[in-house]
Amino acid sequence: MDHAPDYPVGREPDRYPGSPVRSDRHPMPVNLKVRRAKPGFGYNSQDGFEIVDSIQMGAREMSNKRENLGTDQRQLGLRKPMSRRGMLQSTAALMGTAAVSGPLVTAVAQAAPTKQDAGKATPATKPPIVASDSVAIAETATGKVRGYVRDGIYIYKGIPYGDTTAGSARFQPPQKAKPWTGVRSSMQYGRVCPQGPRGTWNQDEESWIFLYDDGVQGEDCLRVNVWTPGINDNKTRPVMVWLHGGGFVSGSSQEHRSYDGERLSRRGDVVVVSLNHRLGPLGYLNLASYGEKYASSAHLGMLDIIMALEWVRENIPNFGGDPGNVTIFGQSGGGGKVGTLMAMPAAQGLFHRAIVQSGSFLRAVTPERSAILTQAVLDELNLNPSQLDLLQDIPVEKLIAAGDAALQKTHLQGGFVWSRVADSLGWGPVVDGKLLPRHSFDPTAPAISAQVPMLIGTTLNEFTTSLNHPENEAMTEAEIQKRLADMYGNDPEHIIEVFRASHPGAKPFDIFSLAMTAQVRQGAVLQAGLKAAQGTPAYLYWFTWKTPVLDGRPRSIHCIDLPFCFDNTNRSENLTGGGPEPRALAANVSEAWIHFARSGNPNHAGLPTWPAFSAESCPTMIFDTQCKLQNNPDREERQALETTSPFLGFKN
């Protein structure tokens, strides 16, 4: 199977249908490679597959420059009827201008001239990609690295920040990468932490809509990727460090095509960093009770992230970044990692702002739950405490399989309750009184990171959609009453009545989705309130834009915000539909992330005034086709659920 390129081949198209044609560029054919897309009724965990398609491009370009934000936003006014095919045909690759000297290793095919251009001299164009033995060479503490340049953005992938975690290093704290001589080629993503198979490889719709890349697994996986507008230029750009999702058990820095940092780096003049770290039993098998050798084994994935942040502090000035202005941001499990870092003493001083997207895990794994899971793994492997050192020699595939089997036997049964998300996921950092002295946001926000402002939010429908299950659209009132009773207990009729009053005309499944997702939103509201109580700003958002693909059935699904905060809506067109509307919303969302990273305040000219959170008014920025600020937009709905077990779980 061919390896998918980082971007569709070809330049960004010039116009949307009906707009003026520029004379200096021509629409180009684009070979589009689409990658893959977890299961369970109503809970979509977004994995994927690979298909290949080719389309002819012809669309009006939109700027990815910050100074042209207003132009991007005005594209929202271009609401001409457009077919689904037209939306897909308006997808675009990235824009940029900078040229780099040196011999080219990679060339880009140019569009064939039109008939009217035949016979005319064609002016030389600047190649979008420059890869050369003498270009994009940067210094790190362990040696020189060489990346490549795409439209003026320097890109480095797979730089080691730590040594291999295989063999005798398994279940041990990370060690710094060994130095190398010469120049290390760093153009390809590094190894992904070994993990089990995706739950939705056989789900066709998810495999199509989510453009995943599983990469190549290996225990030598402690790698960082960097996107920057400049190197060795003495600039002090804000640094944005991305922590991937997948709970604490799966995922990588490359699994979503939307994770690519090029557009975000260019739009905001920021340095974007992403990383891989240990997951599942390799990162969180709690062997601490079996001796000092394994004292930190329940936190290895988090210690990896801390080492990566130390790498940033030491090396990022050479990549044009400011180690004194680092924002950590993550979605789903990545958001949970952000919250956990805020409570870990070893991480303090390594970051200065924090963004949590659909990942307000207020509590960590308890020692009791962790001990049960650890014993189940040892039972699967038929090992007793005197044989623990054999764990370092067991084939990694066998270890991962034992971890998956143990999780299936010990994880919490029943509905997925957000207030107990850490225990439900099983693998994750444990409150041990040392490395993680307390729960991250229970009962209060951690005092050791009180000075760190936060940006926090969720999507409208999160895990409860009809993706993979079109039959859910026909769900009846009686069915949703039963399902809501299973989750929330008695009086589902009252819950339905309250939600329908706020959403008149909504079909039964819409009411069910909103009611189920309210507990995820409640976690974000509580986290913002706990941060605000420290006297430090927290900004709350609610991403409510719904994708038009698959007849809109995915709605505002978990992960829908990713292409928008990275400004990659066309790169993720199977999810967003592509075209001007999502591109314009992406301008608003990514600019908010950039402004927050730069100053700790997400306000910018494209949005209504966005006040910091207060418990009294619960100001919430609604990200949609028309962005707006609303106070307490769902107060009645959340009040209707506050005495139910899932909501009471936030307080117990």
| Secondary structure of 587-614 as H, E, C letters | HHHHHHHHHHHHHCCCCCCCCCCCCCCC
Residue of 378, 365, 554, 529 lying closest to 444 (CA atoms): 529
pLDDT tens for residues 14-71? 322 233 333 333 333 333 333 333 333 333 333 322 222 322 233 333 344 444 444 4
3-state secondary structure of 366: coil
Residue of 91, 82, 104 lying closest to 34 (CA atoms): 91
Q: What local confidence, expressed as pLDDT, does residue 201 receive?
A: 77
All residue ranges of the chain with pLDDT < 50 are: 1-123
Please report which residue ranges of 600-650 form alpha helices under DSSP H: 635-641, 645-648
pTM: 0.83
Q: Is-catalytic flag, 462? A: yes
pLDDT tens for residues 378-408? 999 999 999 999 999 999 999 999 999 999 9
Q: Is-catalytic flag, 332? A: yes
- Residue 314 CB-density burial (10 A; 0-12 exposed, 13-18 middle, 19+ buried): middle
pLDDT tens for residues 78-114? 333 333 223 223 323 322 333 333 332 232 222 333 3
Q: Which of 558, 572, 590, 595 is catalytic?
A: 558
Q: What local confidence, expressed as pLDDT, does residue 412 receive?
A: 65
Residue of 81, 76, 84, 95 lying closest to 571 (CA atoms): 95
Query: Domains of the chain, with CATH numbers?
Result: 137-454 (3.40.50.1820), 468-556+577-648 (no CATH)
Q: What local confidence, expressed as pLDDT, does residue 45 receive?
A: 39
Q: Which of 90, 207, 297, 332 is catalytic?
A: 332
Q: Is-catalytic flag, 370? A: no
For the chain, percent of residues with pLDDT exceeding 90: 77
Other beta carbons within 10 Å of 369? 21
Q: What H or E segment, with its residue span, contains residue 326?
A: strand 321-331
Please report which residue ranges of 382-414 form alpha helices under DSSP H: 396-410
The beta strands (E) that lie in 218-270 are given as 223-228, 237-243
pLDDT tens for residues 599-650? 999 999 999 999 999 999 999 999 999 999 999 999 999 999 999 999 999 9
Residue 429 in contact with residue 340, Cβ under 8 Å? Answer: yes
- Residue 33 — φ and ψ, nearest 5°? -105, 130
